[in-house]
Homo-oligomer: A and B are copies of this chain.
Amino acid sequence: MLRVDPDRLRADFDALAAIGGTAAGGVNRPTFGDAHLAARAWFLERAAAAGLEAHVDAAGNHSAVLPAAAAGAPTLLLGSHLDSVLDGGRFDGGLGVVAALEALRTVQDARLELPVALEAIDFTDEEGTLVGLLGSWAVTGALSPEVLRAPRGGRDALLAGLARVGLAEERLADARREPGSLAGYLELHIEQGPVLERKGVEIGIVTGIVGSRSFRIRFAGAAAHAGTTPMDVRRDAGLGAAAFVVGVRELVVRAYPGAVATVGNIRLEPGGFNVVPGLAHLALEFRSPDAAQLDALEAALVALAHGLADAHGLEVEIEPVGRWEPTSLDPAVRAAIERAAGALGLSTLELPSGAGHDAQALAAVTPSGMIFVPSRGGVSHRPDEYTAWEDCVNGANVLLGAALELGSSECPFQQ
C-alpha cells in the first residue's frame, strides 16, 4: 500500500513554517504580503525540483501538476492555501498544501499512471485578508462583481494587492475551470475545533461546511444617572443586551442541536461607571450545517430580541451583516475517504466543518471532500495552534489513498 514519505513531508512542512514564522511559533502570512509571496515562490520551486509542472492562473492560484497519461484527461485537485490570518498558526492551510505536493510526488515516484491529472493547488486569499475564498471562487466562476466592489478587506487594499502581484481585476474570472475538466477536489485541513481530540478519533470526514449568518443588534433605552434613577424606572440597554446573550445560549443549547451561536462583541454607550447604559451594540453570529435549521434559528433569535426589548422597555434594531449558505460535501468522496482511512487502520468520525474552506467553493462545481486531523485544544488562528505530527502524516496518507481511489477512473462518480 502506497504511503507518503514522512521525512520529506516533514522537511517541507518545517521549511514552509519558517517563511513568515513568528517568535511565538506561528506564521504571519497575510495575502500578498512578503511572507505569503515567499511561501508561494517556495512552493513552485519545490514543485519544479520534483519535476512537476508549475502553474499560476489569472486569480493567482499556484499549482503543481502531475499530468495524466492521456492528453485531455480531467484533473483531480488536491489543495488548500498558503495565506494565513494575522499572527496565525503554521498548520492552517499550509499542511494541506504540502500534503498535496507530497501526494503527487509519491504517485510520481511509484510511476503510477492514472487516468486523471493530479494538481496540488494553493488557493489565493482563503483567509480573507482581501476577499476570502478569492482563488477558489474564481476557479468555480462564482467570484461576483458585487463582492469585488465591497470586499472584506476594503476596495483599496484589494486593488493595491492585485497590482502588487500583477493581477488584473477584470481578468480574475479567467481562472474559471470548466466543471467537465475537473475530476474532484480533496482537501486535508486541521479541524480547528476540539471534537476529534475530545473523542480520541484520528481522522475526521467532513460532511459539509456550515452556513453562517451574522447580525448587528442595537438595543436602545435611556441613559440615566446611576445614582438617582431607581431600578424600577430604568430603561437599561445593557441589561437588555445581557439578557439577550444569556437567552441566545439557552435557546441554541435547548432546541438547536449541532448549531452554534455567539455574541462576540458588546459595546455600551455612554459606558461609564455612573451612567445607566442608553445604547447597547451587539455582534451576533450563528452557524448550522442545515439551511432549514438556520432559518428557524434566525426567526427564534429575532423573536428573542424583540421579546426582550419589549420586556425591558427598549427599542431594538437588527441589521444583517453576513450570510453564507451551508455546503454539503459529496457522499462518494466521503466514502472514499472512509475507505482510505480504514485501509490504514485509522479511526474516523463524520462531522461538519464549523469554519469556511475552499472546499465550499469547489463543492458547487465538482465532487469535493475534506479530511480533518485533530487540533490540540481546538485552537486555531493562533501561534499555539498545534496538530501532532503523527496526525499530520495520517492525514496525508488518507489524502493520498482517497486521491488514488478517486483518480483510478476518469469518471469515478459515474461508476
Contacts and interface: CB of A to CB of B under 8 A. Distances in A.
A347 interface: no
A381 B278 CA distance: 14
A196 to B, nearest CB: 11
A239 B249 contact: yes
A354 B227 contact: yes
Interface string A215-234: 00000000011111111110
Contact of A355 (B195, B198, B225, B271): B225
A342 to B, nearest CB: 25
Contact of A378 (B229, B246, B264): B229
A267 B271 CA distance: 9
A381 to B, nearest CB: 7
A260 B232 CA distance: 10
A273 B268 contact: no
A180 interface: no
A191 interface: yes
Q: How many copies does the complex hold?
A: 2
A319 to B, nearest CB: 12
A123 B253 CA distance: 57
Most B CB contacts (10 A, CB to CB) among A192, A246, A267 go to: A246
Nearest to A252: B231
B193 A225 contact: yes
A277 interface: yes
A54 interface: no
B230 A264 contact: no
A18 interface: no
A381 B246 contact: no
Contacts of A229: 193-194, 260, 354, 378
A126 B340 CA distance: 77
A245 interface: yes
Q: In the complex, which range does the number of interface residues on chain A fall in?
A: 35 or more
A408 interface: no
B277 A273 contact: no
B246 A262 contact: no
A253 B273 contact: no
A321 interface: yes
B273 A233 contact: no
Interface in A28-70: none
Interface in A263-297: 263-268, 271-277, 283-285, 287
22 contacts: A192-B227, A193-B228, A194-B228, A225-B354, A225-B381, A226-B262, A226-B264, A227-B287, A227-B354, A227-B355, A229-B378, A231-B260, A233-B378, A242-B245, A242-B263, A243-B246, A262-B274, A264-B271, A264-B273, A264-B277, A265-B268, A265-B273
Given A229-B260, A271-B283, 15 more contacts: A193-B225, A210-B227, A214-B273, A224-B379, A225-B354, A226-B260, A227-B354, A229-B354, A236-B249, A236-B262, A242-B244, A242-B245, A262-B274, A264-B268, A265-B277
Interface of A: 191-195, 198, 210, 212, 214, 224-233, 236, 238-239, 241-246, 249, 252-253, 260-268, 271-277, 283-285, 287, 321-322, 353-356, 378-381
